């Protein structure tokens, strides 16, 4: 079998493709991509650490200027998005319950409805969907605002006034997005769990509310609450850092704002998915 | 560049540069000006001329401590120029800058723009800073614009907001990038008069003469206002002297800044 395969490869055009050296332009392309990736990771890491340093060392400095900005950001990344999140929560409950009920009923495992809701909504889809919605509604606006401010010289103006741009522009956004996404994720999950039951009720599933919530409570553990808080906070932190970094950390011209926005969105999505994968590993270990 | 070490030889000077080289902010690899030897005494009024693209703005950004010089020694009131060190913030606030076109914060109103440095450094609310902001808005003729945002204003008024914001903390040294560009005669007159008052000692500055450095691509309006002139020419900083010396210069580049053909004097 092995020889057969080898002879097949050797006698086919694939042999030529395997032995042909990688074109230099391809190697250059891959090298550039790798270098750019490492450079971005390095820049984002440094930006995140410096921002954390500023947030810790200046947490009480100029509170009458910075705190109102933070409250504004919490409102923007939290309260104002609530109607949209409740709509998505209703849809999420429908999607999960709609599919789960039909299959669980067939195999007589309707008692696992609560468990499935916890696994799918609380651990996975709830935080990830909340992060994507926050990125779409607030993250993109963040990049555009900051990149425009950078291109129009507002950063230099702040520095000339002795004001740290990270303290004024970035710290309120990071705090606001981390708090905002945590609250929104809780509402999204609660909304999806409730709407899930309502959809089950509409489908005449023989499940009492008390049984449903008992299933949910049994499926939830202390680790779920702890990891949910950490995960959503980190999603908010990552989205805020990536979007602020691309808007603020390097000199920009106005025509580069759209490119910066696209880069920030792509990198935020990748970073959030990677973080989510990390949490799946943590769940599997514990 | 030496950081904060005090230098008695230059202690009496507001600004002191020796062998300074300036790179472009947008492209740090490009040297725009080099070999700058320049002394500015407290209360001086310098006008630095140069053609467009000669590096005036980048030179002013370096002078304001927003970019570091590529090499050379730069002292500010006898100490190394404060960059962004937290422990030297007080020194840094002795110097302020008015940008070409204002560079205002577009999401803030005029009143909020002007009060921002005061509110940030003294931790005040908008209402708390109002008592100090209103007189400055009156002084600069901006009182009727207090609640407007910069996007709704003409360039001339945006420039004045930039000036008011820079004066909020009563700095000892004020750097102005091309303050007269794009202004009509009435606004030019106001600026020249106001800067003249600042140079002599304005009541807002408690009568203390403010050290002024302005950049321009036209020396003519500064006759009788600016007291010392210099220009950026061929990547060099050239001290020209008083208005009489500028007016008598035969150098073609100087004559261009006076809008006079070389040899016609």
- pLDDT (tens digit per residue) in A57-83: 999 999 999 999 999 999 999 889 999
Residue A33 CB coordination number (10 Å): 10
For B64, the closest chain A residue by CA position comes to A160
pLDDT at A24 over 50: yes
Assign 3-class secondary structure to B129-193: HHHHHHHHHHHCCCHHHCCCCHHHCCHHHHHHHHHHHHHCCCCCEEEECCCCCCCCHHHHHHHHH
Q: What confidence tier does B66 reach under pLDDT thresholds 50, 70, 90?
A: very high
Distance of CA A131 to the CA centre of its chain: 4
Q: Which residues pair with B131 in a beta bridge?
A: none
B184 in any annotated domain: no
Tell me the Cα Rg of chain B. 18
Q: Is B255 inside a domain boundary?
A: no
Residue A8 has pLDDT above 60, yes or no: no
Residues of B in contact with A61 (CB under 8 A): 123
Residue identified by tokens 């150098």 is B251
What's the rounded mean pLDDT across residues B23-51? 92
Contact between chains at A160 and B84 (C-beta distance less than 8 A) = no
ipTM above 0.90, yes or no: no
Give the mean pLDDT of chain A: 87
User: What is the helix (H) or strand (E) element at residue A239, kind and residue range?
Assistant: helix A222-248
> Per-residue pLDDT averaged across B119-130, rounded?
93
**Could you tell me if residue B144 is inside a domain?**
yes
pLDDT: is A122 or A20 the higher one? A122
Q: Which sign does the torsion angle of CA B164, B166, B172, B174 carry? A: negative
Residue A95's pLDDT band, with cuts at 50, 70 and 90, is: confident
For chain B, how long is the longest CA-to-CA vector? Answer: 59
- Find, in chain A, the residue whose alpha carbon is nearest to that of B84: A162
**φ, ψ for residue B33, nearest 5 deg:** -140, 140
Q: B29 or A69: whose pLDDT is higher?
A: A69
**Confidence label for A12 from pLDDT (cuts 50, 70 and 90):** low
**Total domain count, chain B:** 1
Residues 6+ apart with CB under 8 A from B157: B142, B145
User: Is the pLDDT assigned to residue A23 strictly greater than 80?
Assistant: no
| Tens digit of each residue's pLDDT (9 = 90 or more) over A113-161 | 888 888 889 988 999 999 999 999 999 999 999 999 999 999 999 999 9
Give the residue with greater pLDDT, B69 vs A101. Answer: B69
C-alpha–C-alpha distance, residues A120 and A224, integer Å: 12
B17 touches B201 (CB < 8 A): no
Residue B46 falls inside a structural domain? no
Point out which residues pair with B237 in neighbouring strands.
B232
Q: Is the predicted pLDDT of residue B260 greater than 80, yes or no?
A: no
What pLDDT does B56 receive? 95
**Residue whose entry in the numeric block shows the structure tokens 């504004």:** A72
User: What's residue A10's pLDDT?
Assistant: 46
Contacts of A66 (CB under 8 A, 6+ apart): A58, A167, A168, A171, A172
Question: Is position B161 within any domain?
Answer: yes
Predicted local distance difference test score (pLDDT) of residue A3 = 42
Enumerate the β-bridge partners of residue B47. Answer: B214, B229
Chain A positions touching chain B (beta carbons under 8 Å): 61-65, 145, 149, 152-154, 156-157, 159-164, 168, 251
- Are B120 and A62 in contact (CB < 8 Å)? yes
A110 token code pair:
């309707």
CB-nearest partner of A161 from B107, B117, B123: B117
CA distance A158 to chain B (A): 9
Which residue range is the domain that position B133 belongs to?
A: 105-170
Rounded to whole angstroms, how far apart are CA atoms B221 and B189? Answer: 9
Q: Which of A64, A145, A154 sits opposite B103 (nearest CB)?
A: A154
- Is there a domain that residue B153 lies in? yes
Pairing outcome for strands B79-80 and B31-40: unpaired
User: Across the A/B interface, how many CB contacts are shorter than 8 Å?
Assistant: 60
Alpha helix positions (H), chain B? 56-63, 89-92, 110-122, 126-139, 155-167, 185-200, 243-248, 252-257
Q: How far apart are CA A214 and CA A209, in angstroms?
A: 8
Residue A13, pLDDT score: 58
Task: Give residues with Cβ within 8 angstroms of A182, minimum separation 6.
Answer: A229, A232, A233, A236
Kind of pairing, strands B173-176 and B211-216? parallel
Residues of B with CB under 8 A from a CB of A: 25-26, 61, 64, 66, 84, 89, 92-93, 96-97, 99, 103-107, 116-117, 119-121, 123-125, 128, 165-166
């Amino acid at each position: 079998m092995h020889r057969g395969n080898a002879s097949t490869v050797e006698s086919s055009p694939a042999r030529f493709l395997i032995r042909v050296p990688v074109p230099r332009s391809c190697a250059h392309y891959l090298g550039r991509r790798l270098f750019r990736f490492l450079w971005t990771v390095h820049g984002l890491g440094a930006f995140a650490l410096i921002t954390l340093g500023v947030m810790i060392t200046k947490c009480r400095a100029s509170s009458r200027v910075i705190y109102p900005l933070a409250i504004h950001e919490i409102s923007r990344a939290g309260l104002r998005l609530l109607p949209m999140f409740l709509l998505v929560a209703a849809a999420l409950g429908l999607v999960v319950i709609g599919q789960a009920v039909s299959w669980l009923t067939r195999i007589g495992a309707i008692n696992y409805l609560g468990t499935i809701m916890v696994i799918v909504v609380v651990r996975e889809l709830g935080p990830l969907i909340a992060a994507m919605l926050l990125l779409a509604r607030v993250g993109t606006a963040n990049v555009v605002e900051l990149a425009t401010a950078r291109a129009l010289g507002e950063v230099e103006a702040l520095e000339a006034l002795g004001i740290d741009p990270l303290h004024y522009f970035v710290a309120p956004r990071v705090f606001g997005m981390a708090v905002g996404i945590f609250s929104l994720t809780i509402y999204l999950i609660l909304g999806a769990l409730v709407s899930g039951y309502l959809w089950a009720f509409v489908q005449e599933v023989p499940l009492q509310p008390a049984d449903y919530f008992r299933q949910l409570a049994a499926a939830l553990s202390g680790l779920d609450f702890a990891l949910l808080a950490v995960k959503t906070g980190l999603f908010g932190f990552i989205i805020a850092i990536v979007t602020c970094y691309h808007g603020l950390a390097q000199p920009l011209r106005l025509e580069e704002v759209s490119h910066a926005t696209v880069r920030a969105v792509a990198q935020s999505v990748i970073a959030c998915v990677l973080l989510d994968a990390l949490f799946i590993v943590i769940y599997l270990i514990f | 560049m030496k950081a904060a070490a005090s230098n008695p030889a230059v202690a009496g000077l507001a600004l002191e540069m020796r062998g300074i080289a300036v790179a472009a902010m947008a492209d740090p690899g490009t040297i725009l000006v080099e070999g700058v030897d320049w002394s500015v005494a407290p209360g001086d009024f310098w006008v630095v001329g140069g053609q467009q693209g000669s590096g005036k703005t980048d030179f002013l950004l370096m002078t304001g401590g927003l970019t570091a010089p590529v090499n050379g020694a730069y002292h500010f009131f006898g100490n190394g120029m404060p960059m962004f060190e937290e422990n030297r913030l007080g020194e840094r606030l002795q110097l302020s800058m008015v940008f070409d076109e204002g560079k205002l914060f577009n999401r803030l109103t005029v009143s909020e723009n002007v009060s921002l440095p005061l509110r940030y450094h003294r931790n005040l609310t908008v209402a708390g800073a109002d008592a100090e902001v209103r007189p400055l808005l009156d002084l600069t003729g901006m009182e009727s614009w207090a609640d407007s945002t910069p996007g709704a204003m003409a360039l001339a008024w945006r420039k004045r907001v930039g000036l008011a914001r820079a004066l909020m903390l009563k700095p000892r040294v004020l750097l102005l990038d091309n303050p007269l560009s794009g202004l009509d005669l009435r606004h030019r007159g106001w600026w020249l008069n106001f800067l003249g008052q600042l140079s002599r000692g304005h009541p807002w500055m408690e009568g203390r003469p403010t050290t002024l450095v302005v950049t321009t691509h036209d020396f003519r309006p500064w006759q009788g206002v600016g007291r010392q002139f210099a220009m950026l020419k061929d990547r060099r900083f050239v001290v020209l002297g008083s208005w009489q010396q500028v007016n008598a210069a035969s150098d073609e580049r100087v004559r261009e800044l006076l809008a006079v053909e070389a040899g016609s004097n």
